[in-house]
């Protein structure tokens, strides 16, 4: 059995060494789904995309907003979790 596992791992390594380089070489030809949909809608509707109101592509503003949203969502979910499971059980402690 251990011999079969070694052959399986060797086969996976060989397949990865063949597949990954070809994917990396062709990566510049791939287009993201968002870009494809946006460009198609621009063609159909005739209206181009506008610049964002707040550009979060540079710096840490996007990271800050994501973290602040996660904190707010965690606080809301945590409070509701306490209300649902602690107070329903009849253990209302102040």
Q: Is the pLDDT of residue 81 over 80?
A: yes
pLDDT in tens, 40-80: 888 898 888 788 888 888 889 989 999 999 999 999 998 88
Instruction: Give the C-alpha distances (Å, rounded to integers) separating 9 from 1, 42, 79, 85.
Output: 13, 47, 48, 47
The CA angle 24-29-30, to the nearest 5 degrees, is 85
Separation of alpha carbons 13 and 7, rounded Å: 10
Residue 11, both tokens: 């086969």
Q: Identify the pLDDT of residue 43.
A: 87
What pTM value is reported for the model?
0.42
pLDDT mean over 31-48:
83
């Amino acid at each position: 059995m251990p011999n079969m596992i070694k052959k399986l791992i060797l086969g996976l390594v060989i397949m990865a060494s063949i597949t990954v380089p070809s994917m990396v070489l062709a990566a510049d030809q791939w287009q993201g789904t968002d870009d494809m949909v946006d460009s198609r809608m621009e063609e159909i509707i005739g209206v181009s995309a506008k610049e964002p109101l707040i550009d979060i592509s540079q710096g840490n503003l996007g990271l800050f907003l994501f973290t602040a949203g996660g904190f707010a969502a965690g606080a809301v979910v945590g409070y509701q979790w306490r209300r649902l499971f602690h107070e329903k059980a009849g253990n209302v402690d102040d």
